[in-house]
Amino acid sequence: MKQVNIDYEQINTLKFLEFNTEEEIIESLMQIFDYQYKEITQHLQIAILKKEYYEASRLSHKLKSSALQLGMKDVAATCLYLEIELKNLNTHNYEDIIKTLSENSKNSLQAINLYLEQQSKKQCVA
pLDDT at 6 over 50: no
pLDDT digits (tens, 9 = 90+) for 35-85: 889 999 999 999 999 999 999 999 999 999 988 888 888 899 999 999 999
Report CA Rg, the chain. Answer: 17
| 3-class SS letters over the chain | CCCCCCCHHHHHHHHCCCCCCHHHHHHHHHHHHHHHHHHHHHHHHHHHHCCCHHHHHHHHHHHHHHHHHCCCHHHHHHHHHHHHHHHCCCCCCHHHHHHHHHHHHHHHHHHHHHHHHHHHHHHHHC
Compute how many other C-beta atoms are within 10 angstroms of the C-beta atom of residue 46. Answer: 13
Distance between the two ends of the chain, CA-based, in angstroms?
53
Mean pLDDT computed over every residue of the chain: 82
What is the pTM assigned to this prediction? 0.77
Domain chopping of the chain, boundaries:
39-125
Question: Is residue 90 very low, low, confident or very high in pLDDT (cuts 50, 70, 90)?
Answer: confident
